[in-house]
Structure 1
């Protein structure tokens, strides 16, 4: 399932029953927006008395815009190191306060807070994921990621929710020294775990796509996202991960006869054209009709390397996926 009903989508608002301008969120939608588990919202209501202003018939919670602003402020306070009890007291004492307004809060006990991240214009789910990551709330991060992938699919989840959050945390890390390193590591680990646990790789007898980082490349999350997107579509793949030795990659290509080989490079220092030339020199099949792999160059490290014969540049997850799917269609048409 990769879609939700409009009324249940994270961040979607629903009109009041009287047709007025008053709108509200469900508990599930609010939890995704804030980056917390629904049970956390219920616990806060039970322990600290901070909850929705009204319930629909059948005791369903509906959170008004004022409720949402108050809960956003509470989450902002907890991300700054304020205890939940004190954060709830402050949020209820100043109902007009919002998470984006000036806040007189106790001195932070963490390197920074959610408001410090340069997120820009992003989906509410991305803000919720960032809030959970800054709090180092592993269970909420995992729940947010799984919900994103299961609701929208790998490509949309990566491009609209996961990648913007990772980029914002990375920029903050680069600008503030060692601050946010723990946030980036926790989020990266859970992204990798989610991509591998929510998708089952396909295997249908067709030549697979090999995915590997260059020999000196340790950044593997983007190519893991591509692997998950291919697997989600049932296309055969072989993932080798970070820092693959050139001899191992050559051996894997000879043994599997791949449709294509994706080579990920995050920086120019790891983009080695000799590895590409070695792969392109490989061939298999009967003499006179030998097959050669297509080398797909992915990542910013290849920006200064113009594609040559037998190679293509992948510039994004969605477009890269389309290129690989086209290669499979061509292979099928040729009887491969």
Structure 2
């Protein structure tokens, strides 16, 4: 089967004939025609000679239908769904399609409690290799961090063990971002301001952004706002994403965001995540500063960036 994204990128066709549309979506021409005729799964365009033509959105829809029918969904039920519903169904299948993840974070922390670092690292590496990023973050990393907090609070996890978990997670998760840097577009900068040392939430957000197709540049923790603005302006950044988790840092973060907004080039959005996000966005009441509390919205934010002219470095 052809790689759809590569085909579109390299040849930039506006329409596909039946055979190409079928190949790109993984179907046979006969199946495509049957789905169209019996279920109106897509309604193709017609050229001057009456031949059916399919645009890129139709081909992507057909690919979604193919994957879902392979997983047991009847085409008669899928054909009536719109594209957003199909994408949601695919995401639901991804989230539930991996066995026994619920017990993995506890098993990994049991290994750390015994200082079996190789076991923890092996389980984490396998999860990173085999799981989509959204599943990895939602069902492994986030529950792992919650369990770390519980065990640290009740004395089952020592400070050294908690720091060991953070160190191993940081190294492995950063390796994902560094595998395939996207240099060809204005990048989205991920950082925290001074006084905010909590990094794993920021890393999780950066991974979600990366999975959503953002060209991510991860800068880490504790950046002075003026320096962050200088980097963003120099690179012509598409957006700046800030994490603020510690309630004790909410007021300093407010002043830091004001300084960042004043120094940042016009038109560059600032996304704020973490426990303090809503407070900070409401207190600032600045149009380009937005609270982002749901990683699922990063895909929509990326699409919003595509229609915006790139800032000048």
* Structure 1 and Structure 2 fold alike (TM over 0.5): yes
Deviations 1:97-142 (A, max 9, x none): xxxxxxxxxxxxxxxxxxxxxxxxx702223222222222111111
Cα offset for 1:255? 0.7
Structure 2 residue 307 is the aligned partner of structure 1 residue 333? yes
Structure 2 Cα separation of the partners of residues 197 and 185 of structure 1: 18
Cα distance in 2, alignment partners of residues 153 and 134 from structure 1: 27
* 1:119 corresponds to: none
Question: Cα distance, 1:283 vs. partner?
Answer: 5.5
Structure 1: distance between partners of 2:125 and 2:202: 18
Aligned equivalents of 2:165 and 2:188: distance in 1? 27
Question: What pairs with 1:282-321 in structure 2 (closer than 5 Å)?
Answer: 282=263, 284=265, 291-307=266-282, 308=285, 309-316=287-294, 318-319=295-296
Cα distance in 2 between the residues matched to 1:233 and 1:305: 25
Aligned to 1:266: 245
The question of whether the paired residues in 1 share the 8 Å contact of 2:226 and 2:259 is answered with: no
Alpha-carbon offset, residue 225 of structure 1: 2.0
Larger relative helix fraction = 2
Are 1:214 and 1:270, in contact at CA under 8 Å, matched by a contact in 2?
A: no
Shifted more, 201-210 versus 219-228: the winner is 201-210
Q: Distance in 2 between matches of 1:254 and 1:154?
A: 29
Shift of 1:269: 2.4
Contact 2:232 2:264 in 1 (8 A): no
Unmatched segments (≥5 aa) in structure 1: 12-121, 285-290
Structure 2: where are the runs of 5+ without partners? 1-90
Contact 2:272 2:281 in 1 (8 A): no
Confirm or deny: 8 A CA contact 1:10 1:125 kept in the other structure: no
For residue 174 of structure 1, the aligned residue among 117, 135, 153 is: 153
Contact 2:106–2:147, Cα closer than 8 Å, also in 1: no
Where does structure 1 differ by over 4 angstroms across 4 or more consecutive aligned residues? none
Distance 2:212 2:236 in 1: 20
TM value normalised by structure 1: 0.56
Superposed displacement of residue 300, structure 1:
1.0
Give the TM-score taking structure 2 as reference length: 0.60
Aligned-residue CA RMSD in angstroms?
A: 2.8
CA contact (8 A) 1:210 1:238 kept: yes
Residues 303 and 233 of structure 1: CA distance in aligned 2, closer, same or farther (over 3 Å): closer
Count residues with an aligned counterpart. 211
Q: Which residue of 1 aligns with 2:27?
A: none
Following TM superposition, by how much is the alpha carbon of 1:10 offset from its aligned partner in structure 2, in angstroms?
Answer: 4.5
Structure 1, residues 82-107: CA drift from partner, whole Å, max 9, x if none? xxxxxxxxxxxxxxxxxxxxxxxxxx
CA separation in 2, counterparts of 1:203 and 1:184? 32
Change (3 A) 1:162 1:133: farther
> Are the aligned partners of 2:189 and 2:240 in contact in 1 as well (CA < 8 Å)?
yes
Equivalents in 2 of 1:233, 1:326: separation in Å? Answer: 9
Partner of 2:230: 251
CA contact (8 A) 2:190 2:217 kept: yes
| Alignment check: 8 A CA contact 1:259 1:327 kept | no
CA distance in 2, matches of 1:196, 1:208: 16
- The residue matched to 2:279 in structure 1 has which SS? coil
Q: Give a deviation string over 1:11-48, Cα, whole Å, max 9, x none.
A: 3xxxxxxxxxxxxxxxxxxxxxxxxxxxxxxxxxxxxx
